[in-house]
Amino acid sequence: MQKKGLLLVISLCLAAIGQLNAEDGSRLWLRFQPQEFRSLPSFTHIRGDASSVAYSEFQHAWQEISGSCLPERGRETEHTLLIGTLKERQIRRLIKGHELQELGREGYIIRTTGEGSRRTTVVASAGEAGLLYGVYHLLRLIQTGSCHDSLAISEQPRYDIRILNHWDNLNGTVERGYAGHSIWQWDQLPLHISPLYKDYARANASVGINATVLNNVNATPDILTRGYLEKVRLIANELRPYHIRVYLSINFSSPAELGGLENSDPLNPEVEQWWKRKADEIYQIIPDFGGFLVKANSEGLPGPQDYGRSHAEGANMLADALKPHGGIVMWRAFVYNPTEEDRAKQAYSEFMSLDGQFRDNVIIQVKNGPVDFQPREPFSPLFGAMQQTALMPELQITQEYLGFSNHLVYLATQWKEFLESDTHCMGEGSTVARSTDGTLLTHPLTAIAGVANIGLDANWSGHHFAQSNWYAFGRLAWDHTLTAEEIAEEWIGMTFTTEPAFVDPVREMMLNSWETAVDYMMPLGLHHIFAWDHHYGPEPWCDIPGARPDWLPPYYHNASEEGIGFDRSTTGSDAVSQYCAPLSETFNNPASCPDELLLWFHHIPWDHPMQNGRTLWDELCYRYDGGVQQVRAFQKVWDRMEPYVDSERFRHVQSRLRIQSRDAVWWKDACLLYFQTFSGKPIPYDIERPVHELEELKKIKLDLKHHN
């Protein structure tokens, strides 16, 4: 009877493992699924400080992974997993202290020692944060089937601050968020503390994210009132065990709005004192508060220029208030005010003259491109050029310009292109990454930010595959030398399955998805031809009476009978001269400018011969059509994956791909039919014919304000 009972238990366990139960995506990539025992490390003992978050996280995950109902089989070896810091004698005996000290408090070592039948695998760090990151690294290896019994890993982060920017409003909405309302649920605090905060912290820590800005850069002064600061304290308490520091976006006019002062002039002594008192109050409530994120004198928000002061004077005043507490100011370079100048030149024009004038606890946060998170942009020319001031890249995880949560677009490929772009400002090899991570320029702190795509949807990001962009941001912020392919394969294995028949085609789909979206939206350097306000669909004809020209698509595409594109050459707006040589010369010449950026830097005749022999018009047509056909290929790939995915997630992604396919046709037809009114040329006859009428497309008006 005992034998039959054991066999029944084993059969039930194996059946449970093999069954694809419905999943809602809420566990993200932290799905510690039971696995067959032979795929697990041969740990016989797990030791460490039971009070350590890192140790408890591993124990919790290990229990889920190993499966409580699988029988323990005989072991000929004794393999101990030891988790700890230098405080523990066993760690000091197995790992030399200087090795861990050199890696810093966030670095870690995973190493297997011993021979024969007795082995020890050590996860060790000089600090508790590094220990947690090391444990998650080991779990990632186990989840992806990459763990073995002889490990030798040593890592430390490339950037000091790896931060999410939440564009969350105090009323619960999320600007440019497409996954539901804000997870912070301000109206429920302080009476109810959501368990989501801990889940959020675990997910971020698992990929090395160590900071978060809780509120929108379009900030209201109310966030600095005592009532909201007490709510921030409660959130900070939930995130702190996972080594995540809290930051806030502030409104520059807060002294006048909240303090009743006559103005918010940064050189007004009363204003300076107000900010110092406010900083003292914040740190009394939240001792490890990180600092401020500031959007000033952009899109109508107040700033130091309202009083004739510079960005440096405004940032330094805040930095001085935070300095005694160890806080920092992240001052955004996104300046978007009415000007006769090419909008792509504004950030460089305003900030280059201020290089070296900022306090050492100020970091200038610069969007990856010079305009605004477009599907493809050249890197901002501030990177590499602004050398006496710390710069931090700002990436957009949420897909404001890439189909929201309806389109499958894996962004690691876009971010790798950006980070590996060579600025040439400090010689060959002075990439964006190396100019901001401390390799080429020495500043007190290095940082990188990502605009979060997180909301209250069960799957956090609105699209199951959008989770990969949150994951990829964290992994690249930790180590930007990882490839987009490596990150995709990790995420697939942890989120779905490690079965090669699933991993290989899905990985290729992800790696092709960004270029595909660029092709069906805005190929060859076209940009910002989105629908008015919500930025979802195409509207290249958009003309709003009274609107600023740089809010409208014709400002950017300049389509005419002569050609299309924005002339930023030396005979146009001269934006090319903001780049260092020889890149400036490369971009300035249409013959050497990369095809992918041709219409960003040049106004090109429709008959211009491309490098592949086609005319510009024909190449545009083939790019748009190629994007449509590629999305349809994605549908076929996903449909074949049904045996490997639970039904709930399979149907969700399948439905979103249908939307994406229809949207791709919408983009192709709208852009080609509209641009054809200028080119006067036929769409090549081997390309699928448009299925819409241009005048009908012009009538489409979507109400997507609920997304803001």
* pLDDT tens digits for range 377-427: 999 999 999 999 999 999 999 999 999 999 999 999 999 999 999 999 999
For 582-603, write each residue's pLDDT tens digit: 999 999 999 999 999 999 999 9
The percent of residues in the chain predicted with pLDDT above 90, rounded, is: 89
128-143 and 53-66 helices, crossing angle to 10°: 10
Which one of the listed residues 106, 313, 342, 400 is annotated catalytic? Answer: 400
| CB distance 317 to 267 below 8 Å | yes
Residue 373, pLDDT above cutoff 50: yes
Condensed to tens digits (0 to 9), the pLDDT of residues 473-488 reads 999 999 999 999 999 9
Least confident of 29-43, 128-142, 685-699: 29-43
Out of 24, 372, 420, 486, pick the active-site residue: 372
Provide mean pLDDT across the span 644-673.
Answer: 98
Give the pLDDT band (50/70/90) at residue 1.
Answer: very low
pTM of the model: 0.95
140 and 208 Cβ atoms separated by less than 8 Å: no
Q: CA torsion 284→289→295→300, rounded to 10°? A: -40
**Cβ-count burial 605-614 (b if 16+ within 10 Å, e if not):** bbebebeeeb
Q: What top-level class would CATH report for the domain 519-566+603-707?
A: alpha beta
Residue 200's pLDDT band, with cuts at 50, 70 and 90, is: very high
Q: Which residue among the candidates 299, 341, 499, 607 is catalytic per the annotation?
A: 299
Per residue in 552-591, pLDDT (tens digit) is 999 999 999 999 999 999 999 999 999 999 999 999 999 9
pLDDT band of residue 430 (cuts 50, 70, 90) is: very high
Q: Does the pLDDT at position 69 exceed 50?
A: no
Is a pLDDT exceeding 90 seen at residue 306? Answer: yes
**Is 340 labeled as catalytic in the residue annotation?**
no
Burial 623-635 (b: 16+ CB within 10 A, else e): bbbbbbbbbeebb
Per-residue pLDDT at 394: 98
Does this chain's domain 2-155 share its CATH topology with 519-566+603-707?
no
Spell out the domain ranges in the chain: 2-155, 161-481, 519-566+603-707
Cα–Cα distance for residue pair 266/253, rounded to 1 Å: 10
For residue 4, what pLDDT is reported? Answer: 43
Mean per-residue pLDDT, 246-266: 98
pLDDT of 176 above 80: yes
Q: Are 217 and 167 in contact (CB under 8 A)?
A: yes
Token reading at 316: 């330094």
- Spatial contact of 398 and 463, defined as CB atoms under 8 Å apart: no
Helix axes 500-521, 647-679, angle to 10 degrees: 30
705 band by pLDDT with thresholds 50, 70 and 90: low
Q: What are phi and psi of 156, to 5 degrees?
A: -150, 155
Average pLDDT over residues 122-144: 97
Task: Label residue 501 by pLDDT band (50, 70, 90).
Answer: very high
pLDDT over 90 at 5, yes or no: no
User: What is the rounded CA–CA span in Å between residue 645 and residue 78?
Assistant: 37
How confident is the model at residue 556, as a pLDDT?
Answer: 97
Residue 43 has pLDDT above 90, yes or no: no
How much is the mean pLDDT over the chain? 94
The angle, 0 to 180 degrees and rounded to 10, between the axes of the packed helices 412-419 and 467-478 is 30
Q: What is the pLDDT of residue 41?
A: 84
- Alpha-carbon distances of 527 from 154, 531, 532, rounded to whole Å: 42, 12, 14
Confidence bin at 61 (pLDDT 50/70/90):
very high
Over residues 38-65, mean pLDDT: 89
Residue type, 5: G
**Are 482 and 476 contacting, i.e. CB atoms less than 8 angstroms apart?**
yes
Instruction: Based on the residue annotation, tell me whether 372 is a catalytic residue of this protein.
Output: yes
Domain 2-155 bears CATH identifier 3.30.70.20? no
- Give me the sign of the Cα torsion angle 577, 583, 587, 588: positive
23 is catalytic: no
CA–chain centroid gap for 348, Å, is: 23
Q: What is the pLDDT of residues 677-688, one digit of tens each?
A: 999 999 999 999
Among the CATH numbers 3.40.190.10, 1.10.150.300, 3.20.20.80, 3.40.50.970, which is that of 161-481? 3.20.20.80
185: left (phi over 0), alpha (psi -120 to 50) or beta: left
Q: What pLDDT score was predicted for residue 35?
A: 62
CA–CA distance, 215 with 248 (Å, rounded to integer): 6
Looking at per-residue pLDDT, the higher value among 446 and 117 belongs to 446
